[in-house]
Structure 1
Amino acid sequence: MAKLLLVEDNEMNRDMLSRRLGRKGYDVIVAVDGEQGLSMCRDSQPDLMLLDMSLPVKDGWQVASEMKADTDLKAVPIIALTAHAMADDRQRALAAGCDDYDTKPVDLPRLLGKIEALLNCTE
């Protein structure tokens, strides 16, 4: 069972997404801000991170950049989750170190496809 770290500050989004992913067979752990997300990533060694980009303490852009600069964390695939749906937001997320990008509200089948594609690349 793949372990996913969901870093999301919105309680409703966090609860809904973690429950839906759990029902699909994933072990989901959650963090509520960017700093906690980095700490949990170091401690829990997830297979993949779902990263909200608009977070308190450290935003998703900073988290992704720090992870990709850290030799212990850079191999963890990151999917940016954001309500920012402008064309350059995708490029900005990829430039920060995210491996993929998905918009909110989350379309679960589309997100599951992206999760599976990244997990299969790391096996």
Structure 2
Amino acid sequence: MAKRVLVVEDNELNLRLFCDLLRAHDYETEGVRDGREALDRARAFMPDLIVMDIQMPHVTGLELTEAIRADETLRTMPIMAVTAYAGKADEDRIRAAGADAYVSKPISLMRFIETVEGLANRTIAPATTEA
């Protein structure tokens, strides 16, 4: 059975890229463009991993990550933050909110998939920042 990944990303092109890349590596994906829908979709889809954009309108990825960590049903789901924020302070803030891994945009496709595979299999990959 394919691992399930929920992708929360407001940018349509990035959402399509991430979902297509994951599907090419045999993951079942569900995309969410509006962060306000993310918690309900996560509860319905019950993914093995959540790929979370941090900078979104309406509700940020940081707020969603904190809400997931506070939710009894969702709190153990691994979260991979994907963001254009690339500073050390940004990574610290994202990890403090509860993200298990951090990959900066523009992404390295190989590093993205390696991190997804580690998290989807419940082994936490070390956080990195891509230049």
Question: Could you tell me how far 1:79 is from its partner in structure 2?
Answer: 0.3
SS at match of 1:94: helix
Aligned to 2:110: 109
**Mind listing any 5+ residue stretches in structure 1 that lack a counterpart?**
none
Instruction: Give the secondary-structure state (helix, strand or coil) at the position aligned to 1:40.
Output: helix
Shift of residue 39, structure 1, vs aligned partner: 1.3
Matched residue, 1:38: 39
Question: TM-score, structure 2 length as denominator?
Answer: 0.89
Match of 1:93 in 2: 94
Structure 2 partner of 1:55: 56
Rounded Cα–Cα distance in structure 1 between residues aligned with 2:48 and 2:29: 10
Asked if residue 22 in structure 1 is aligned to residue 17 in structure 2, the reply is no
Q: CA deviation at 1:107?
A: 1.0
Q: Deviation at 1:24?
A: 0.9
Residue in structure 2 matched with residue 66 of structure 1 by the alignment: 67
Distance 1:36 1:4 in 2: 15
Normalized per residue, the structure richer in helix is 1
Same amino acid, percent of matched pairs: 35
Distance across 2 between alignment mates of 1:27 and 1:121: 16
Report the residue type matching 2:80 in the other structure: I
Are residue 84 (structure 1) and residue 92 (structure 2) matched? no
Q: How much has 1:120 moved relative to structure 2?
A: 2.3
Structure 1 residues 58-67 or 103-112, which shifts more? 103-112
Amino acid at match of 1:24: H
Deviations 1:34-72 (A, max 9, x none): 211111101110000000001122110000000001110
Give the alignment's TM-score, normalised by structure 1: 0.94
Distance in 2 of aligned mates of 1:67 and 1:17: 21
Root-mean-square deviation (Å): 1.0
Stretches of structure 2 lacking an aligned partner (at least 5 in a row): 124-131
- Structure 1's consecutive aligned runs of 4 or more residues displaced over 4 angstroms after TM superposition are none
Q: In structure 1, what is the Cα distance between the partners aligned to 2:121 and 2:50?
A: 14
